[in-house]
Structure 1
């Protein structure tokens, strides 16, 4: 049984999943109807639906689909797949947005400023498509038609479609939505050898598995004519098959060269040439193939990246994508451990890497516990000599030394009360100038207040804030970058809750575990970073997240 899933966008009409014996089609359309009208003569794809039905296909059509309609149509499609399915085609056209967690097709009527939460909750995950297509290696076609947009996306979102995660054996054709629509319109009349040339003629780029021919959608009415071979042809074909099986079993440069020498125009010549080129261009071909055979999931790849980062190897991101950064980190680890620096991992190496990372996490956490205990001892001793005396000078001395200390909230609360009393006693002009300085909350603003009101009621408060800016200049300087790095992580509310819960387990008092990083949470993050000698910013970055996750494993 052949099944084709087409996703393009305009009202929803979902056919019942009564699958035919030739091809089953799922059409989800999220492109501009006017574009479709201009290119294929019909804005709601009904003509495309009819064309496939005339070939004996049962078609499910969803156009202008919202989030639920997309999921419902895809669910119906996948429920009908079974072991008799010959090949799979899935076409998605519309607006795509990518995050560090994957890429998503947006509903047709997405409105207002786009947010990460909106993409994750309403978008249709491209990973779901790949998961289905991966079950049909060599017999799966995915078409991605992109709709352009002028909207500026927030940090953590991108219009780029990463194509590094295409499963083995899956062919992906990608291009503008209009070109994809034209290709799908012509696909209804295609025979197997026409599929890829039609895609290229339509202006689509081919990625992933790109053979010379892609024999898909060969219904009974379009089957290629069968020619009865003579005995000599049968013998030659059998010899070709036998030689190819031997070449595959050896999987070496010499084996493929031997096959090509004997069968330069053989039925497997193009595959042999592709494999030969791959071996010659990849010095660690066998290692690469061995890692691919492990079929590592994206979560498994993220875990490997976390382990490498924990051991001090920079993977340039923890996204489940093994790019140059990760390959370089793997190579460096292999060199250090005398494992043969190929940049590709074996199952034994993954186990060893995980064990090393877990041991290192335990070591780092023990160091952090000792450092945190020493900091708390110093904190309590300093408080007993300053803030515990109950005067303004003591409170200010404590906060200058321990701005995020154990007693910081108590000291600040006492100073706020003192300030409030002074506000009540201060003259109107002095109170007004001080409020202006507090509103701007900059070193320059406080210096301006001191220059204008050298004997004002809030002189001590102004000097204390100036001292704060001087003593924390490095932390203040990195805040914009730290904010951007945290935003780039694309943390959803669940991830933020998890971070707060782990900080709470460590006794760092992040406040309510509600996914909102308020001042209590920021203070807890700074305490965590300080105890572990990480960059102290109060914002989550990759290094902090890696350590937080390691801490959770150890508890």
Structure 2
């Protein structure tokens, strides 16, 4: 016997009393059913239900499930599995979050910003699904449909769905909820076909066990007694079907109103009213449908977010998830281009956006090249009047004006040599006090040194450091924030090496291309940011990474 378990956002109560069960279908719904209907397009739940029931599948449903309901529904399903179970399929759609302990499907009604404790105690863990699916290697399909969210989550909770430790033999398909729903619609009509091309056709990413072919869910036909309708009934049913087909083809408010006017109690009246509710609740229904039909992959969505960022529209992250930030950026871009400001993109607009971003990237790089040339001209002129004179005052004046300049390493080295000479000549107590101040390296520490040693050998160095702290207090705070932002990017060694390689190609001298960001790398990043009028911190933030990637594309 095949037992099929699907968890999908819907608002249906499915049952097929009296039919011969060829499988069990469990549906747990935690998403707004109207939202899923809009995302899924033609993949309506009534059609999916009918397809599975025609194959003899016994269908049950749990919607708007809280933590207890999710666990109870899944436990009941798992308890029914036995040695006779041929294959299992599990589809989860809704809000997913991840912690260090794993990923969770959040219960319906949970607040937008749950705490870490709420996630781990009330969320439904994917590990539980893995544990059951692992018992059917090569015969288990897990489909995960994500619902977009723009919520700010607490530390320790991420909106990204992390797939890790997938059991051997378990196939996982992941993508936006609408894509997942359309995949299930096609799967419900499949009869033992290879399911992998169906998943790929809907833009789902496949993980875990991905063999060359994976035929599943053949189903069993159910023989039902045939009732021959009366001639008048036949004619009316045919007219009903034709009117419904016309309404679906137009997929407009007027089309469904026309159908209901002719067939207020028709076979599809309930679905027509549901679609009317969906259309009327979404002012840009057509535009949203057009974007959904593009079946944009997560990588394609990231590319759109990068293009918008290059053009100066803040998407609030480049994560492949179109939340409020991205929709707002799209709307602003459409307004600026005299387009219908729907917040949804069609194929022509995506091509136009990409062309504008590519052109802007080229413009920005040319502006950066010109600015870099001008900065270097000023740098050399200032050096000839200061550091090139070979005295301490000149070196300090140069470093104050160009701390990351062309000659900054030379100037600093010569100042270090002067300090070393003074240290060698200074008396022991003076040297000890200066060493303590240097180790503390704070404005208060240097002021304490000046108070105790007003005629010490390191007075000039102390005053220079105090001046640095006075001039750069705001920059120091910015640097601390930038350091945290770079850490949040979680750049791996490969990404770091690519960044260093690009900086080296631009002649910014980042040091060894080894994935380790040392002082040479930080100086090169500051030079890169300064030339492009980005926030100068020496750390990679999202804006800097976007520009580095654009520069790489332009090579």
* 8 Å contact from structure 1 (residues 6, 91) kept in 2: no
CA distance in 2, matches of 1:127, 1:510: 39
TM superposition shift of 1:374: 0.9
Tell me the CA shift for residue 273 of structure 1. Answer: 2.5
The match for 1:103 is 161
Cα distance in 2, alignment partners of residues 169 and 275 from structure 1: 24
CA offset at residue 52 of structure 1? 2.5
Asked if 1 retains the 8 angstrom alpha-carbon contact of 2:144 and 2:174, the reply is no
Give ranges in structure 2 of 5+ residues lacking alignment: 8-20, 26-66, 91-101, 103-124, 146-155, 189-200, 205-215
Q: Which residue of 2 aligns with 1:137?
A: 184
What secondary structure sits across from 1:137 in the alignment? helix
By how many angstroms is 1:6 displaced? 9.9
TM (normalized to structure 2)? Answer: 0.66
Equivalents in 2 of 1:317, 1:526: separation in Å? 22
**1:127 aligned counterpart, secondary structure:** strand
Deviation of 1:516 after TM superposition, in Å, equals: 2.1
Q: Which shifted more, 309-318 or 386-395? A: 386-395
1-structure distance, mates of 2:4, 2:419: 71
- Find the aligned partners of 1:394 and 1:523 in 2 and give their Cα distance: 21
Distance verdict in 2 for CA 1:237–1:395, change over 3 Å: same
- Residue correspondence of structure 1 range 65-80 to structure 2 within 5 A: none
User: Aligned residue for 2:359?
Assistant: 359
Per the alignment, in what secondary structure is the counterpart of residue 162 of structure 2?
Answer: strand
Separation in 2, partners of 1:4, 1:490: 38
Cα separation, partners in 2 of 1:4 and 1:457, compared to 1, 3 Å: farther
Residues 130-189 of structure 1, C-alpha deviation per residue, up to 9 Å, x if partnerless? 899567233779xxxxxxxxxxxxxxxxxxxxxxxxx9899xxxxxxxxxxxxxxxxxxx
Contact 1:423 1:431 in 2 (8 A): yes
| Closer/same/farther in 2, CA of residues 510 and 278 from structure 1, 3 Å limit | same
SS in 2 for 1:511: coil
Partner of residue 127, structure 1: 174
**1:219-298 correspondence runs (5 A):** 220=220, 226-232=224-230, 235-298=235-298
The number of residues matched between the two structures is: 425
Which residue number in structure 1 is paired with residue 534 of structure 2? Answer: 534
Distance 1:51 1:91, change over 3 A: farther
Q: Check the 8 A contact 1:90/1:129 in 2, yes or no.
A: no
Q: Residue in 1 aligned with 2:60?
A: none
Give runs of aligned pairs for residues 279-358 of structure 1, distance below 5 A.
Answer: 279-358=279-358
CA distance in 2, matches of 1:295, 1:54: 38
Assess, with a 3 A threshold, how the Cα gap between structure 1 residues 126 and 523 changes in structure 2: closer, same or farther: farther
Give the TM-score normalised by the residue count of structure 1: 0.66
Contact 1:105 1:126 (8 Å CA) reproduced = no
Partner of 2:548: 548
CA offset at residue 251 of structure 1? 0.6
Taking the aligned partners of 2:433 and 2:275, their CA distance within structure 1 comes to 77
Q: Deviations over 1:177-233 (max 9, x none)?
A: xxxxxxxxxxxxxxxxxxxxxxxxxxxxxxxxxxxxxxx98965xx87734233146
Structure 1 293/128 Cα, relative in aligned 2: closer, same or farther at 3 Å? closer
Gaps of 5+ in 1: 8-20, 26-34, 82-87, 110-123, 142-166, 171-215
Task: Report whether the alignment pairs 1:57 with 2:86.
Answer: yes
Q: CA deviation at 1:525?
A: 1.0
Matched, 1:436 2:436: yes
Asked whether the equivalents of residues 301 and 321 of structure 1 are also in contact (C-alpha less than 8 Å), the reply is yes
The Cα RMSD (Å) is 4.3
Equivalent pair of 1:447/1:466 in contact (CA under 8 Å): yes
Equivalent residue, structure 2, for 1:469: 469
Aligned-pair CA distance for 1:365: 1.1
- Kept in 1: contact 2:450–2:462 (CA 8 A): yes
Match of 1:413 in 2: 413
The residue aligned with 1:500 is: 500
**1:322, CA displacement in angstroms?**
1.6
8 Å CA contact 1:4–1:90 kept in 2: the answer is no
2 CA distance for matches of 1:130 and 1:305? 19
Deviation at 1:402, TM superposition (A): 0.8
